[in-house]
Amino acid sequence: MERIKQALEKAREERLKAGGTAGTSGGTAGPVAAVSQIMYTHTRTEEVPLKFLREMRVITAVESGGFTDAYGILRTQVLQRLREKQWNALAVTSPEIGEGKTLTAINLAISLAREVDYTVLLVDADLRNPGVHTYFGIHPERGLSDYLLDDVPLAELLIHPSGIGRFVILPGGKPLENSSEMLNSPKMARLVDELKTRYSSRIVLFDLPPLLSTADTLAFSPYVDAALLVIEEGRTPAQEIERATKLLLQNTNLIGTVLNKSHTMKPSDRQSPPWPERAFDRLRDNRLLGRVGAKLQAWSGRLSGKARS
């Protein structure tokens, strides 16, 4: 933790010497002017067919109503918490593999970008298995790992998917075996600080690896303001939710959980709230521990089984 603090402080000092500002822990500290439609002249733009996005379930980019409204609920709750705490850097993770954290991060990021007050940068920080780019059908040759290892300028790595305003991706690049060390490096700490403070209207989302599979997320989590935990209905065991929650709260703030793949309803559930309200747990303070498992069991009654790999 001391090395992280030293790296962040060094980054702020370098920015001050360069004539910048010290910044804050978040980019939403005060009111920001509405961000009009942006013309990307330096950031690479990639054509992405709407049909492909729909097939990959990137629904917030192509549809309205139904599932998109559910992400709108999540967006509203996330923004309320970010504004309240003056935060702008949010990690998205899950206890285990296959629970939908990457697709949730993508749809949430695009939904946030539809807010005229903000731009959104989605960083693929799952350096062992980077996959954000696959949902857009693009094939970047370089990404975050190349920045960390080879000092490739950030401006050469960013990608704007065409047709999605105020939204940019930093792909993961080539997979790394030593991803934990790279994510916990002083260079990564300085990059996160730069991304958080360069633009007051920017929200930065980080797609992180599954929390209980590697040490990567624990190594990286102190850099962000808060985390969002994605769990799968009927699959994620309650004990894994509890364990993941405890681990996250050691290093960062947990603003809430997303109940993903909530599409089945038993006869006994017919008096439950409709899908958008069932799919997303209400965001709370850090008093999530002990409530999450009980509430989800009340919704689905199927959280006792083991998660698949």
Say whether pLDDT at 41 is over 70: no
Mean pLDDT along residues 55-83: 87
**CA atoms of 296 and 145, how far apart (whole Å):** 37
CA dihedral 133, 136, 137, 140 (to 10 degrees): -30
Task: Give the pLDDT confidence score for residue 233 in this predicted structure.
Answer: 78
Query: What is 2-7+40-300's CATH number, 3.40.50.300, 3.20.20.70, 2.40.50.100, 3.10.105.10?
Result: 3.40.50.300
pTM score of the predicted model: 0.76
Helices (H), the chain: 2-17, 50-55, 67-85, 101-113, 144-150, 179-183, 186-197, 216-220, 238-251, 275-279, 292-300
Which region holds residue 151: left if phi is over 0, alpha if psi is between -120 and 50, else beta?
Answer: left
Q: Assign 236 a pLDDT band (cuts: 50, 70, 90).
A: confident
Give the number of other CB atoms < 10 A from CB of residue 251: 17
Please report where in the chains the tokens 């857009």 appear, as a residue.
Answer: 136
Say whether pLDDT at 286 is over 70: no
- Lowest mean per-residue pLDDT among 106-120, 148-162, 207-221, 262-276: 262-276
Per residue in 247-282, pLDDT (tens digit) is 999 999 999 888 887 654 443 444 444 333 333 343
Per residue in 111-145, pLDDT (tens digit) is 999 887 899 999 999 999 999 999 999 999 999 99
